[in-house]
Amino acid sequence: MTADWGFPSDLDDVSGEVAIAGVGEADHTKASGRTTKQIGAQAIERALADAGLTPRDVDGIMHTPFDGQQFGADDYRAHFGTTHEMWTSTAGGGMVWAGSAPHEAALAIRAGKARTIVNVFSVAWATQRADMVGGPGEVHAAELFKQNLEVPFGWFPQPVYFATIARRHMHEYGTTPAQLGAIAVACRRHANRTPAAVLRDKPLTLEQYLASPTICDPFRKEDCCLISDGGGAYVMTSVERARDLRRPVIEVAGVGVGNSRTRTYWAQQGDFTATPQVFAAPGAFRMAGLSPADVDVLACYDPFTIVSLMQIEDMGFCKKGEGGPFVEGTTLHFDGGRLPYNTHGGMLSHAYVLGIAHVVEVVRQLRGEAAAQVKDAEIGVYGGYTGPQASTLVLRRR
C-alpha cells in the first residue's frame, strides 16, 4: 500500500535537550462532581510536589484549547496565589499533544521563553455525561460534515467508527476477536495491580471477554475505553537543570508527529486500517537514534483495542497485519512479555484521561517506581493519537 494518505510533520531535532522532571495524576474516578479545572489543579500540585518545585518555579504552561475548560495560566496564578508571567501554549494537553508537547517545550526553553514548563490535561466527562454534554461524541457530532454525512446514518459515535475499522482489519489480515481480547485482558491485568486505576478491582479473563455480547460488532464493551473524571500533568525543564532536581533524569530522546490528509474523516482515509503513526514513529526513532527493538515499555492512546493493535503495527513493533498474532498470549504483559504495554491499564482499564496518564506511567516505569514495574526499563515510548494526527514520544533514563 502506498503511504500517500498522510505525511510527517517537520520537527527540529530536540533530542537530549529537555527532561520530564515531575509527574502527577489527579484522582481517577467515575462521575465525581468535580470540575475540569479542579482536577487539573490537583494534577499540577502533585507534579510539582513530585519534582520538588514551588509554584513560582514554573514559568510556562501548556494545555489543549479543545473544550475551553482546561487549566490555564490565569487559573494557575489564581490557584497558587502568584502574579508571575507565564509563557503559555495551547499545543499541549492529552491525546496527540501529550506526546508532542515536549517538542514545543524544548523550542520554548531553547529560545529562552521559559525555563520550567508544565503540561496539563484533565476531563470531567464522567460527571458531564449525566447532562448529555461534553465527552468524545459531542466533539464529533458538532463537526458539520460528520453531522450531515455520517451521524444521520448512525455511523456514530467513535465505537461504531472503530468497530468498522476492526472488521476491515479482520478481513485484510485475519485478525480475530480473541486477539483483540488479548489486549483488553493484558490492560485489565495491569489495572488490577495499579491502585489508581478505575477498574483495579475488576478482573477480566479472555473467556469472559469472548462470552460477553457485542455492542457494535465486532466490538464488545471491553474493547472500548472508560469514560472518566481525571487528569495528569508533567513538568519539563532542560536536562541540565533536571540534574539538579530531586528525581531521576528522564530525557526526551525523540519526538515525531504524523498527519492524515483526510483529517478526522476516517471513512475516507486512504489506508482505512492504519494510523498516522506510520508517519510519526520513524522520525521519533531517528531523532532518538533508537529502533522499536530497543523499547522496554510502550504506552499508546487506546480508545479501542483495535487502535492499540494498529499503532503497535504502525510504529514498527511488528509487521503490518501481524499485530493480531503478535499480541496473543502474554506479549503485552509487564512481567516478562516481549512488549510490556499500557502497564497502568490504559484508557480501557485505568482511566480515560486521554493519554496524559500514559506519559506519567512511562516516566514512572523508567524511574523504576511503577505499580506493575517492568524490570530494568530504560527506554519507554508513548504513542499519541487523535485520528487526524499521531505522535511518538521516546523517553530515556539518563
Partner 1 sequence: MTSFRREFPLPDTEWPPTREFWSAAKRGELALPRCDACRRWRWYPDATCRFCGSASSTWTAVSGRGRLFSWSVVRRAFIPQLAADVPYVAGLVAIEEDPAVRIVTRIVDCEPAVLRIDLPVRVVFRPLRFAGVRGEVTAPMFVPE
* Active-site residue, 382 included: no
**Closer by beta carbon to partner 1, 82 or else 264:** 264
Q: How far is the CB of 6 from partner 1 (least distance, A)?
A: 12
2 in contact with partner 1 (CB under 8 A): no
Residues 361, 193 contacting (CB under 8 angstroms):
no
Least Å distance, CB 157 to partner 1, is 5
Sequence-distant (≥ 6) Cβ neighbours of residue 78 within 8 angstroms: none
Amino acid identity of 301? Y
CB environment 175-186: b (16+ within 10 A), e (fewer): bebebbbbbbbb
Pick from 159, 254, 283, 292 the residue near partner 1 by CB under 8 A.
159
Per CB under 8 A, the list member of 6, 22, 177, 218 interacting with partner 1 is: 218
Q: Residue 173 catalytic?
A: no
Q: Which of 31, 86, 107, 141 binds partner 1 (CB under 8 A)?
A: 141
Judging by beta carbons within 10 Å of its beta carbon (0-12, 13-18, 19+), is residue 202 exposed, middle or buried? exposed
Is residue 160 part of the contact set for partner 1 (CB under 8 A)?
yes
Nearer to partner 1, 80 or 265 (CB): 265
Tell me if 219 contacts partner 1 by CB under 8 A: yes
Identified catalytic residue from 301, 341, 382, 385: 301
Read off φ and ψ for residue 89, nearest 5 degrees.
-145, 140
Instruction: Identify the residue among 81, 112, 195, 213 touching partner 1 (CB under 8 A).
Output: 213
Other CB atoms within 10 A of residue 261 CB: 14
Q: How far is the CB of 122 from partner 1 (least distance, A)?
A: 17
Q: Which is nearer to partner 1, 144 or 293 (CB)?
A: 144
- Which cell numbers in the block locate residue 251? 530525557
The string of DSSP codes covering 77-125 is HHHHT-----EEESS-SSTTHHHHHHHHHHHHHHTTS-SEEEEEEEEEH
Active-site amino acid positions: 301, 352
Q: Binding residues for partner 1, per CB under 8 A?
A: 133-134, 137-138, 141-142, 144-145, 147-157, 159-160, 163-165, 167-168, 171, 213-219, 261-262, 265, 267-268, 270, 272
